[in-house]
Chain A
């Protein structure tokens, strides 16, 4: 599982020097059980299951502030994205067929949400 996360995210947790700038930059800090610097540490120490079951991983806004400001290019946001992907994959059958979509559309739905729905939405 660790290898899958590393492969999907392309993150090398060993580059992290544990400065905490990612966590300091995170706007969604209060909503998450674990915080950006912990994501990286958990990948390094094999605590992926704990991370996948933790609360609040969906609250990561993917704002990439942590990626932008990390002095060592570790890119914690990519870890959380990979973890979310892994969670979705584990759920299985978490996708819509194309003919199910029109019924769910409404005018105010942004394009991006439709795309995201292919991956995330589950009845």
Chain B
């Protein structure tokens, strides 16, 4: 029997308001084996931790139970505390009386009663705890960044700067992501390409960074420090090492009717293409859906004009295997499809555009060369209506329940740019709320209204009807309590943003959790915002939630710092809560080997002393503790009950069950 000390935390009033902490300490003090029991305002504070350490020495404690917040919060804190006092860190058990007791119950008596029972279960468990020592595993000094947008590029540059090798996997033919399509950035109005393209070039020229463009991650195995990743390099039918990016093929290709996805289909490109002039790597790619040579075997113009001989129609998808210590997810976002919002006539008129399309129409490198023209007739628009919150802040059944965060600011930017370039245009912005939390953001929005004369109308557009080359906009003005009818030339929809579609299958591969909107969840929403709950997986940019560029870059660098911290270690401390077989009970059936997801179990023939001084050779299970992650699947699969999990043994869990049901 252990000598157990019980420490009940008040957590200020968080626990003490609904749980009678003194009574809990008193009742638990009478449990068998408990030699000391007390309560304190903040157990996790310096003073609280010192009290635990002093008590361990004074009462010669061999087990500690702390009734406090969730073990997900402070288990490590208290383990370290006890370790410093000379107690094995795995002799500590936490009874969760905050998240799972005081915060969910209002009645003090009920909550106190429940806290006592939870405390009893922890005491029952700690009696059966055994000291555990952690093993170590080596760390591969290489990082993988999935996604080559501004988030991925920044993360990769920062990791490379610290001296580690980084690979960027980008599914498009070029890195750069959404920021390459943007014209100007708020609130400074500096040109997006001017600040992004140097970074793209830096990434390409950095010898520590390797870019896998037009590639995808196809499988991930392993665990923190030792991920084994298969990267699929999609066939681009051009030899990257030979192509010089001269662009001759993209001019000569006879297939001219391919929608240019870089310009969101606003114009056409050839079947062989370089997305834009500053693409990195600047290598041509053949679109297999449109290339007549690949489809019917007749053409071959690009191969004839290519002086470098880089065209290779026989190219196949290639698979590359690589090992990494850490993985950063930077898969980014996309605007939603607007099929559900056809009251805005997006599918009925080319003059109703999304904000990202509008961005291309304003861009000097865009389909109109930077002159704002209506897509339908190429005329200059005189009245432009912006609609905010299209698909954002909706009931779950109709759209996205969250605020997309960036739309208020980019709409203010668009409105301002329109008025600046074309003072003869009337610009209306229909808003529900204008949300501008950010440095110099509200000043920017006020400038749009006060200096540039943009008409901000509190209300919403109800419907848009294309009629005689105009767009009839019917909207509400809630301040004026009237209905407005505007004959507009263009309507711009601030579509909600959603995580990229590739994120969901990726999350499954990485076993990283996602929320109901398919954004990656962070390990702690406030204290660990760039880490996934899965060790070794880090989050960068809009894959974690809607973000603007400054926030994305900040988070990207934060993720890089976390990766560098991990890669700097030569060895990682393993989780000591691993499976362990009782060799005398093992009958060598291989059931455990089959269920182990990590291949941590192997079988060996071992000599045992049998009756009458004979020697028996038996086949028994062995667990590699460096590979075992401690899920416990094998413990239940074992028919003879030989396999058990350290830290969560059968006896411990049953002791908890008994204590709860007592």
What is the interface of chain A, defined by CB distance below 8 A to chain B?
A: 15, 17-26, 29-30, 35, 37-38, 65, 69, 71-73
Query: Which residue from B398, B476, B478 sits with its C-beta under 8 Å from A71?
Result: B398
Tell me the bound Cα distance from A37 to B481 in angstroms: 10
Q: Is the CB of B398 within 8 A of A24?
A: no
Contacts of B462 in A (CB 8 A): 21-26, 65, 69
Are B483 and A21 interface neighbours, CB within 8 A?
no
Contact A69 to B343, CB < 8 A, known contacts A20-B478, A24-B462, A26-B462: yes
Q: Are A20 and B458 within 8 A (Cβ)?
A: yes
Q: State whether B395 touches A24 (Cβ < 8 A).
A: no
Q: How many residues of B contact A (CB 8 A)?
A: 22
Number of A-B contacts (CB under 8 A): 67
CB-based contact A37/B476 at 8 Å: yes
| Alpha-carbon separation in the docked complex, A35 to B460 (Å) | 14
B481: A residues at CB distance < 8 A:
35, 38
Do A71 and B483 touch (CB < 8 A)? no
Q: How far is the CA of A12 from the CA of B389 in the complex (A)?
A: 22
**Contact indicator B459/A71 (Cβ below 8 Å):** no
B651 near A: Cβ within 8 Å? no
Q: Are the C-beta atoms of B343 and A71 separated by less than 8 Å?
A: no
A19 with B483: in contact, given A71-B393, A71-B398, A71-B399 (CB under 8 Å)? Answer: no
Set B398, B463, B475: member contacting A73, Cβ < 8 A:
B398
Q: Smallest CB-CB separation from A65: which chain B residue?
A: B462
Q: B393-417 vs A: 1/0 string, CB under 8 Å?
A: 1110111000000000000000000
Judge if B49 is at the interface, Cβ distance under 8 Å.
Answer: no
Contacts A24-B460, A26-B483, A72-B395 given; 10 further ones with Cβ under 8 A? A19-B432, A20-B460, A21-B460, A22-B476, A23-B483, A35-B476, A65-B462, A69-B463, A71-B394, A71-B395
Closest to A25 in B: B462
Choose from A15, A24, A65, A72 the contact partner of B459 (Cβ within 8 Å). Answer: A24
Please, could you name 18 A-B residue pairs with CB atoms under 8 Å apart, sorted by A? Answer: A18-B478, A20-B459, A20-B460, A20-B477, A20-B478, A21-B461, A22-B462, A22-B476, A23-B478, A24-B462, A24-B483, A25-B462, A25-B463, A29-B483, A65-B463, A71-B389, A71-B393, A73-B398
Question: Which residues on B sit within 8 Å (CB–CB) of A25?
Answer: 343, 462-463, 474
- B461 in contact with A24 (CB, 8 Å): yes
Find residues 418-465 in chain B having any chain A CB closer than 8 Å to their own CB. 432, 458-463
A2 to chain B minimum Cβ distance, whole angstroms, is 23
- Among B460, B475, B478, the most chain A Cβ lie within 10 Å of the Cβ of B460
User: Given A26-B483, A71-B389: A20 and B395 within 8 A (CB)?
Assistant: no
Shortest CB distance A81–B (Å): 20
Q: Is the CB of B399 within 8 A of A21?
A: no
In the complex, how many angstroms separate the beta carbon of B338 from the nearest chain A beta carbon? 14
Residue from A17, A21, A65, A72 in contact with B476 in the complex, judged by beta carbons closer than 8 Å: A21
**Residues 467-478 of chain B: 1 if any A CB is under 8 Å from the residue's CB, otherwise 0?**
000000011111
Chain B residues positioned under 8 Å from A21 (CB to CB): 460-462, 476
Question: Which residue, A21, A65, A72, has most C-beta atoms of chain B within 10 A?
Answer: A21
A102 to B421, CA, bound (A): 70
B475 to chain A: which residues have CB within 8 Å?
24
Q: How far is the CB of A41 from chain B (nearest CB, A)?
A: 10
A69→B395 CA distance, assembly (Å): 11
Is the CB–CB distance between A24 and B476 below 8 Å?
yes
A4, B395: Cα distance in complex, Å: 25
Given A19-B432, A24-B459, A26-B462, check contact A72 B478 (CB 8 Å): no
List residues of chain A with CB within 8 A of the CB of B458: 20
- By a CB distance below 8 angstroms, the chain A residues around B397 are 73
Are B398 and A19 interface neighbours, CB within 8 A? no
